[in-house]
Amino acid sequence: MAHNTNAAGQTSTPYMINKVNMLQNEKRKLNISLDDNRLFPYVEMKAELISESSGSSSVLSIKKNNSDTNWTVEISEKQAEGKYRLKVTATDVLKMTKETAVGFEVDTTLTNIPVIELKDSGTKSSGSTDAQETTQTKPGFMIRNIPEDIYKINITISGDNNDYEIKNLEDFKGGSKEWGGIQKDLEDEREYSITVTFTDKAGNTSTNKEAPYKIKKIAPFVFKDPELILDPETDSGTQGDFKTNHKQPVLRFKNMSQAAVTALKITLTPEGSDSDKAYTYTLTQNESIDNKGNEYTIELIKTTSLKGQDLFPAGKYEVTLELTYENNEKYKIPKTLSQSLIINRDKPDAVHDVKYTFNEEGGVKTIKIQGEKPTKTDIFIQFEGQSEINITKKGNTSVFDVEAFETTQPWGQQKSFTLFVKDDIGNQSENTQVDIPSPLPSLGIVL
């Protein structure tokens, strides 16, 4: 039996027609081929068309073709949509009969109009005719409103000579399917029209040709590295070095790109033995300082495992950012900072091997101090009631790598002073208290 306009082809053997588009021919001619080699040939065929929905039946005209094993049955009228059974009775020269039947379905309509859209995109304007923008040269799409009896999907894109065809759709679910099969790159600042055509298993088609989907390829968005620093209020020691001894550090995130950061995820992973313990912070755009996704404040003590009164654990942390940008498309970009966050509250060692030489000349009392200090520290002197003085600082620069130090300071009427060191994070050593002798000795005093 010929399958005529059945788009899906023969799906069972023998002679099964799943769907037939009855509108394509005024008369439906179905060929019946005899597949058995009988000693006594058939001399008569009778055909009956039975509607499975109504139960009504009609006798059809059937005639023998030139071949001894080929007959033709004609369905002379357009049949209503539904399932049918064609029963054929064959009689040979000995008046012996044999029956067979084939089921088919009349399907003449396809009401699902194709819908296609960019998989991840939005438009600058809400107008229905505006083209959706994409920075991708080969973007992905979602095809929606797919009928259950879909056979194939054809896609054409203006400026692209390829006729994209999607078959093997038996496993799709939910009326939608993702497609990313573009072969020709989209060009910047160019608008494209996309036409989609559905073909069902009966050969019926529907298309969005009257209102094709429009997209516009725009230049790729350039992302700039964001800024992540310690909040100045919790950045002890040297500002901007990503080191602190603060009890409850706070980070400040600043977006340097034009597109808003709609979601921010920061993970602090301790380096070393505690690397399996990580702290994760997730914020959304409405939690940003300006509610526009440009600046965020991250309080490290606010985690499920830490309480407000606790110290954030000291250590060296690898910092990983996962940023979700939205610039007509959503981009999720992971980034690990090259600079680790260091939280250190350990006190440095105090000064040692210090020699104090007291002197008075012309009524001016001075003290010469010589000694050694730990590396990566500055040494400070503080007289009672006065501010601390960094005696190893040259100009505005700390001389961290120099161990030996020497300074001469006036001391006036003071009776004592304190020496201590601070590291680059701001941690302070134990104080070294020095009493000024009276009367002054003629020689230096080594403590």
pLDDT tens digits, 278-298: 999 999 999 999 998 899 999
Selected residue with higher pLDDT from 3 and 136: 136
Residue recorded with tokens 């912070």: 281
| For the chain, percent of residues with pLDDT exceeding 70 | 80
Domains defined for the chain, CATH in brackets: 22-106 (2.60.40.10), 115-217 (2.60.40.10), 227-343 (2.60.40.10), 352-446 (2.60.40.10)
Residue 407 CA to residue 131 CA, distance in Å, equals 73
Which pLDDT does position 281 carry in this prediction? Answer: 94
What mean pLDDT do residues 124-129 have?
44
pLDDT tens-place string over residues 56-73: 888 888 887 776 667 788
57: Cβ–Cβ under 8 A, 6 or more apart, which residues?
A: 48, 49, 50, 51
Residue recorded with tokens 């439906």: 28
174: Cβ–Cβ under 8 A, 6 or more apart, which residues?
A: none
pTM of the model: 0.57
Strand 190-200, strand 177-179: pairing = unpaired
